[in-house]
Amino acid sequence: MFSDFIPVIGNDLQLAVTRLEDSQLAYAKGSIPVRNFKIEFIGVRAGNYSTEENGRLVRLIMREQDLEVVRKDLVPDK
């Protein structure tokens, strides 16, 4: 757990990152292994994110805001 600053709120917030079970993220062209994490801005919002093996962000999900962003450029064309 560590502090983060969210400019829109204008306050320091406690931020918790929890490692979840690894999985495969399916794409139309195939799938890639991902590491999954839960991120919590304590008292504000929570979400999940996934990274690929080099730590680059692959997917971000913020259910409370009905938001999901998925990178499509990580699976090579077959």
Eight-state DSSP code of residue 1 = -
Q: In the structure encoding, which two tokens stand for residue 15, read together?
A: 């931020």
Global confidence as pTM? 0.75
CA distance 77 to 20: 29
Q: Per-block average pLDDT, block size 10, for the chain (78 residues)? A: 54 85 88 93 87 90 86 69
The answer to whether 52 and 58 are in contact (CB under 8 A) is yes
Residue 59, pLDDT score: 92
Residue 77, pLDDT score: 61
Residue 1, pLDDT score: 46
